[in-house]
A = this chain, B = another copy of it.
Amino acid sequence: MTSASDTPETTVTDTLPSVTVFVCTSCGKTSNDPNGPASRGEILLDRLTKAAKPHAHIKTQAVDCFAVCTREVTIAFSAPGKWSYVIGDTDPARDIDDILTAATAVANAPHGVPKLKERPAFFRTGVISRIPPRD
């Protein structure tokens, strides 16, 4: 029998396949003043980055512009060797948990293409395009 005190301290290792969530920080910008209010994209990135901390396989990254612009906030999922999805109309007040759920679904899907039932609402309605891995 092993008591709790026999167990060395460990860091929980996240062994899920990795995935990057890109977030457009130009989306919803209302001011060009660097000290002005944060854009909706910046707010989403900030909230998502904090919420993603316990999920070591999910990396977040700011993007200047996806060249979409009419469907803010635009984000993208990208994982090694898998299809990438560009998705618009995400909402920092509504979609943070669902974006994390979807990121994990992309990471776990063999080709990065989650089944429809694994796609939260924002993913089912927001897809702008997808692109295959190069190899």
Q: Which A residues fall within an 8 A CB radius of B?
A: 20, 22, 61, 63, 65-68, 74, 76, 78-80, 84-86, 127-132, 134
List of B residues within 8 angstroms of A76 by Cβ: 131
List of B residues within 8 angstroms of A63 by Cβ: 132
A66: which of B22, B74, B80, B131 is its contact (CB, 8 Å)?
Answer: B131
A131 contacts B86, C-beta separation under 8 Å: yes
A20 contacts B134, C-beta separation under 8 Å: yes
List of B residues within 8 angstroms of A20 by Cβ: 134
What CA separation (Å) do A76 and B128 show in the bound complex? 13
What CA separation (Å) do A78 and B132 show in the bound complex? 9
A22: which of B79, B127, B132 is its contact (CB, 8 Å)?
Answer: B132
Query: Can you give 18 A-B contacts (C-beta < 8 A)?
Result: A20-B134, A22-B131, A65-B130, A67-B85, A67-B127, A67-B128, A67-B130, A68-B129, A74-B129, A78-B131, A84-B84, A84-B131, A86-B86, A86-B129, A86-B131, A128-B129, A129-B129, A131-B131
